[in-house]
A and B are shown apart, each in its own frame.
Chain A
Amino acid sequence: MSHKSKKVHNDFKFIQSSGGIEEYKFKPNGLTVLVLEDHSAPVATLMVTYHVGSRNEAIGHTGSTHLLEHLMFKGSQNFNKEKGNAIWNELQNIGAQINATTWNDRTNYFEVVPSEHLERAIAIEADRMRFAFLRDEDRQPEMTVVRNEFERGENSPFDVLDKNIWATAYQAHPYHHSTIGWRSDIENVPTEKLQAFYNTYYWPNNATVTVIGDFEKVEAMSLVKKYFGKHPHSSKNIPEMYTEEPKQEGPRRIAVKRVGQTGVVGVGHKTPEGLHKDSYTLQLLGKILADGKTSRFNKNIIDKGLATSILMYDFPFRDNGMFISYIFLTPGTQHQTVEDVVLKEYENIINNGVTTEERRRAVAQTRAGVAFSRDGSFAVASALNEAIAIGDWTYYTTYMDQIEKTSNEDIKRVAEKYLIEDNSTTGWFIPKNNEAAQDAA
């Protein structure tokens, strides 16, 4: 029987297709499956995205989603050290690129494998979806590993300032805390809490399995059925996170003072949820302001010698986000000078808008970025992962259409709406005098 004549099993219900990617629902347990064949290289990527992230945490167990992600590598019923087939060994021994990440809205586990080994990756991911050990004796050493990850982040002035700005801008919504969590929560969260978290959220009906690359679709889907099909639908509904951030009614400011070398200015403004139509427009505005050598900030800050670099982001999240510009100052530059330049540029756009040339350039940059997000099975799976996280995987395949529709007037309108003082949170990293630094003993 040729591949062409094979059909996807009846247990899979076809939902939709977009950009060559097909979505199916595995009817017995509600698992969503995204699949794209791409034979450019003898490689396949498997990614499992759980629809749970640090937005599902609360005081006392911040960082739990991430700590749980670490424990998921400590073994499951059929893949563990005792059996001699621990997850890392099983996958790295075949040359797989393997890891997992946690963020605000999702947790993803992935394997990029030589395509002949796709089944092994599927078997492992399916096993730990419901049969992970999550033992207290594993949590103890892993807690210090994660705490060291936290400590490494705290080494960076940018990381510290970013955490402080989010914690100041978001007071009620769980985006208040960063995904790594607060140190005391990392240290003290009980194993039972992590197990409960797992048993609440790690179910096929709260996950999307994405398979991209060099395989035959029907065969890959029968492997998904063979392994993930063992799990039932959750017996309880997956809880919804319902906390909304109250309206901000005035500018907020923070400062972080530590021994250091370089001042940093961060100017943030709250933005709408990722799937909101204004979100696309704000991302285009971000490019005009800070992407490339012709961007406004590059001309008015970098080229004037005021800063070494600029980092501007406006990640689309499931709930509200932040439009933040970080400026890393050159020696001797005052924080206020740079903050004034940033705010003046925002005011300029609010009053005068952007030029068509600027918008067209930002669209062209986006178009190239979208094309490169198709370069390799891992690139596609990663882009899909973020789209799944915000609530609609077709965000990835329809993104360019939305960007193309944006007008100059739209950009001016979103600047007027969001880049206003009462919606802002500004932070400065102020380096304290550092006599101990560079004191080699």
Chain B
Amino acid sequence: MQLSKQVVVGSPTEGITTLIMPTTVKDVITFAGSFLGGALYSPKTNRKIAPITAAMLDKGTQLKSKYEISNLLEDVGAEVNFSATQHHVQFTGFCLKENLTIVIQLLGEQLRSPAFSSKELATLKTRTIGMLDQSKEDTKKQALIGFLRNLYPEYHPNYRTTIEEAIKQTKKVSKKEIKSFHEKHYGLSQFNFAAVGDVNPTLMNDLLEDQFNGWENKNITTKNLILRAHPSKEMEQEIHIADKTSLDMYLGQPIGIDREHEDYYALMMGIYILGGNFSARLMQTVRDNQGLTYGIGSSLAGTSFGSDGYWSTWGTFAPNLLETGKKATTDQIENWYKKGVTSDELKAKKTTMTGSYQVGMDSTGGIVAQLLSNAERGRSVEHLDQYPEIIKGISLDHVNRAIKQYIDPKKLTLVTAGSFN
């Protein structure tokens, strides 16, 4: 299935790139888009300004109240959601074909002229603080925050604030700040838009042109990342959360490279063989043979847009099995590091990855996500067709060299959160 032959690439107005893929699915259209202006573009003193600005987009425009917006969408069963990632303001949505015009008109209005009402901001802040409070007892989230705070310095894209810091920052966000953030950052800076389903590319481009023609390009550029991860070091941290029956554990270290590096795919493959899916080593041993955990896996993350990423293994254990679980996990990591992966494993995981890529095309949502993330990285649609070939081309020697070069089992950071025995 050659995606590049099915995707219509367009530019309805200067600054917007569209990727439209008509499929045989009936009536439904799924879309997503983004532009630069995520959390990293918040003032250094308050990282919450960007996400709260994005969250305010569905709380009313200069022409419509929050309820008028909701009525328009819900009357036709459509949905549009806004969020901020580290780098981008993102929107995702779906609608029936017959309602596309209403939805895209509204999208334009919400992005370009939000109301930013003081009352709505106050309610949003109360809810956000409530949700942050809830996450204090989320063992997995707490373990990840602790893990990343040990790996990266403040202001690095992969650094995470504590929940208490996030609550403090949320309380401080003012209407003036979000209005100013919107004025400075929202516009056609690397604006990508993907849509898949029962969609006519010409109509979609015309609608987008109507809505966004003349919207200023704020000339935001991808952040130059100067900060680097802390050097790897062996350390352990426990985060105590009372009355929990299962703990979450993260262990790993920074890898020093981003996803554009020539070793990225080889290292990704090595880590996938260790813990990328159920048939990978960690699930087969720590779960399937030893019964120590419900879930365990490993992955590479935080490598986008020039960021020096990290590899990690996550696992969940009952308090009385934690020490055995940790030992079983680190034994596997040491064995993997020492002996490398086998050609049979590499062969199997290559077909896993290329097959998964095909299976990911099963729904409009799956294709939209692929198209948008590829475009955000500045890659052509053809790159998506090349992906299976890139995977097939990874050599055993390269994978094992990458493991030796980027992993150091003697310098792992390990953070657990929950109730300890």
Contacts from A to B (Cβ < 8 Å) = 38-43, 45, 86, 88-89, 92-98, 112-114, 117, 140-152, 154-155, 157, 213, 258-262, 292-294, 299, 302-305, 307-309, 328-331, 360-361, 364-369, 371-372, 374-379, 432, 434-441
- Which positions 42-98 of chain B face chain A at CB distance < 8 Å? 58, 66-67, 69-71, 73-78, 94-96
Q: Decide: B136 and A371 in contact? CB cutoff 8 A.
A: no
B317 within 8 A of A: yes
Inter-chain contact B96/A371, CB cutoff 8 Å: yes
- Report the nearest B residue to A306, measured CB to CB: B126
**Min CB–CB distance A38 → chain B (angstroms):** 8
Q: Are B294 and A331 in contact (CB under 8 A)?
A: no
Pairs A–B under 8 Å by Cβ, sample size 7: A86-B279, A94-B351, A94-B355, A148-B318, A152-B316, A261-B133, A293-B58
Contact with A438, one of B96, B126, B241 (Cβ below 8 angstroms): B241
Identify the closest chain B residue to A38 (Cβ).
B24
Instruction: Check if A148 sits within 8 Å of B246, measured CB to CB.
Output: yes
Residues of A within 8 A of B28 (CB): 368, 371-372, 374-375
Bound Cα distance from A375 to B289, whole angstroms: 37
Please indicate the chain B residues that have their CB under 8 angstroms from the CB of A142 in the complex: 291
With a CB–CB cut-off of 8 A, which chain A residues contact B293?
A: 145, 148
Q: Which chain A residue lies CB-closest to B94? A: A372
Whether B130 and A303, one on each chain, are in contact in the complex, defined by CB atoms closer than 8 angstroms, is no
The verdict on B203 contacting chain A, using a C-beta distance below 8 Å, is: no
In the assembly, what is the distance between CA of A41 and CA of B316, in Å?
A: 36
* Chain B residues whose CB sits within 8 angstroms of the CB of A261 once the complex forms: 133-134, 136-137
Contact A39 B243 (CB under 8 A): no
Q: Is B335 an interface residue (CB 8 A)?
A: no
Interchain nearest-CB distance for A138 vs B (Å): 9
**Chain A residue with the shortest CB-CB distance to B364:** A375
Decide: A309 and B351 in contact? CB cutoff 8 A: no
Residue pair B75, A113 in contact (C-beta under 8 Å): no
Given the complex of chains A and B, what is the CA–CA distance between A88 and B197 in angstroms? Answer: 32
Given contacts A40-B24, A147-B318, contact A260 B137 (CB under 8 A): yes
Q: Provide the B178-213 mask, 1 if CB < 8 A to any CB of A, else 0.
A: 000000000000000000010000000000000000
Beyond contacts A262-B134, A302-B123, A365-B74: 4 other A-B pairs, Cβ-Cβ < 8 A, are: A95-B357, A144-B292, A294-B74, A364-B74
Cβ-defined contact, B358 with A437, below 8 A: no
Q: Report Cα–Cα, A365/B240, bound state, in Å.
A: 43
Q: Establish whether residues B75 and A361, one from each chain, have CB atoms under 8 Å apart when the complex forms.
A: yes
The minimal Cβ–Cβ distance linking A333 to chain B, given in whole angstroms, is 8
Contact partner of A293 among B74, B163, B291, B351, CB < 8 A? B74
Contact status A152-B294, CB under 8 Å: yes
Establish whether residues B362 and A41, one from each chain, have CB atoms under 8 Å apart when the complex forms.
yes
Q: CA–CA, A234 to B239, complex, Å?
A: 53
| Closest B residue, CB atoms, query A375 | B363
B358-A293 in contact (CB<8A): no
Q: Which residues of A contact B76 (CB under 8 A)?
A: 364, 368
* Shortest CB distance A128–B (Å): 16
Interchain CB contact under 8 A, B318 and A292: no
A410 to chain B, nearest CB (A): 20
**Contact: B27 with A371, CB < 8 Å?**
yes
Contacts of B246 in A (CB 8 A): 148, 151-152, 154-155
Across-interface contacts of B66 in A (CB, < 8 A): 293
CA distance in complex: A375, B198 (Å): 11
Closest to A157 in B: B137
Q: In the assembled complex, which residues on chain B have CB atoms less than 8 Å from the CB atom of A98?
A: 278
Supposing A95-B355, A375-B30, A436-B240 touch, asked if A331 and B137 sit within 8 A by C-beta, the answer is no
Check: B356 CB closer than 8 A to any chain A CB: yes
Interface pair A368/B290, CB less than 8 Å apart: no
When distances are taken between beta carbons in the complex, the residues of chain B under 8 Å from A307 are 127, 130
Distance of A411 Cα from B366 Cα, bound (Å): 36
- The 0/1 profile, CB within 8 Å of A marked 1, for residues 203-243 of chain B is 00000000000000000000000000000000001111111
CA distance A141 to B293 in the complex (A): 9
Which one of B26, B244, B351, B364 has the greatest number of beta carbons of chain A within 10 Å?
B244
The residue of chain A having its C-beta at the shortest distance from the C-beta of B139 within the complex is A155
A361 to B361, CA, bound (A): 31
Which residues from A are CB-within-8-Å of B26? Answer: 371, 374
Q: Does any Cβ of A come within 8 Å of B118's Cβ?
A: no
CA distance A154 to B96 in the complex (A): 39
Asked if A305 and B348 make an inter-chain contact with CB atoms under 8 angstroms apart, the answer reads: no
Given A95-B352, A141-B289, A309-B131, are A439 and B240 neighbors across the interface (CB < 8 Å)? Answer: yes
Q: How far is the CA of A110 from the CA of B237 in the complex (A)?
A: 39
Tell me the chain B residues, 127-185 only, with Cβ under 8 Å from chain A: 127, 129-131, 133-134, 136-137, 139, 146, 163-164
Q: Do the beta carbons of B96 and A361 come within 8 Å of each other?
A: no
Contact of A376 among B139, B278, B355, B363 (CB under 8 A): B363
- Leading 5 A-B pairs by shortest Cβ distance: A95-B355, A368-B77, A141-B291, A376-B363, A308-B130
Q: Once the chains bind, are B130 and A330 in contact (CB under 8 Å)?
A: yes
- Interfacial chain A residues near B330, Cβ < 8 Å: none
User: Please, what's the 1-or-0 string for B341-368, where 1 marks a CB less than 8 Å from any CB in chain A?
Assistant: 0000000110111111111011111100
Q: Known A41-B361, A437-B242; judge A92-B277 contact (CB<8 A).
A: yes
A364 to B74: give the CA distance in the assembly, Å. Answer: 7
* List of A residues within 8 angstroms of B354 by Cβ: 95
B146, B288, B365: which contacts A375 (Cβ < 8 A)? B365
Task: Assess the A140–B291 pair: CB atoms within 8 A.
Answer: yes
Q: How far is the CA of A95 from the CA of B354 in the complex (A)?
A: 7
B356:A42 contact, CB within 8 angstroms: no
Q: Is B294 a contact partner of A141 (Cβ separation < 8 A)?
A: no
Instruction: Evaluate whether A259 and B242 lie within 8 angstroms (CB atoms) in the complex, with A42-B1, A308-B127, A440-B237 already known.
Output: yes
Question: Is the CB–CB distance between A262 and B133 below 8 Å?
Answer: yes
Distance between A208 CB and nearest chain B CB, rounded to angstroms: 21
Q: Which residue of A is nearest B124, CB measured?
A: A305
Q: Which single residue of chain B is at the shortest CB-CB distance from A367?
A: B77
- Neighbour of B25 across the interface among A146, A329, A375, CB < 8 A: A375
Per the bound structure, the CA–CA distance linking A113 and B284 in Å amounts to 21
Q: Which of A262, A294, A369 contacts B71 (CB 8 A)?
A: A294
- The residue on A at minimum CB distance from B418 is A155
What residues of chain B lie closer than 8 Å to A438, measured between beta carbons? 136, 163-164, 239-241
Q: How far is the CB of A307 from chain B (nearest CB, A)?
A: 7
A260 to B244 CA separation, bound complex (whole angstroms): 10
Distance in Å: Cβ of A214 to nearest Cβ of chain B: 10
| Chain B residue at minimal CB-CB distance from A433 | B242
Supposing A41-B1, A95-B353, A141-B289 touch, asked if A330 and B127 sit within 8 A by C-beta, the answer is yes
Q: Which residue of B58, B75, B77, B351 contacts A369 across the interface (Cβ within 8 Å)? A: B77
In the complex the two chains form, is B358's CB within 8 Å of A43's CB?
yes
- Cβ of B95: which chain A residues have Cβ within 8 Å of it? 368
Which residue of chain A has its CB nearest to the CB of B276? A92
Closest-by-CB residue of A relative to B70 is: A293
Q: Does B404 belong to the interface (CB within 8 Å)?
A: no
> How far, in whole Å, are A299 and B123 apart by their CA atoms in the complex?
12
Say yes or no: A303 contacts B74, CB within 8 Å: no
Is B394 in the interface zone, CB < 8 Å from A? no
Q: Across the interface, which residues of B come within 8 angstroms of A304, CB to CB?
A: 123
Interface flag for B245 (CB, 8 Å): yes
Q: Which of A41, A145, A378, A441 contacts B287 (CB 8 A)?
A: A145
B23 interface residue (CB < 8 Å to A): yes
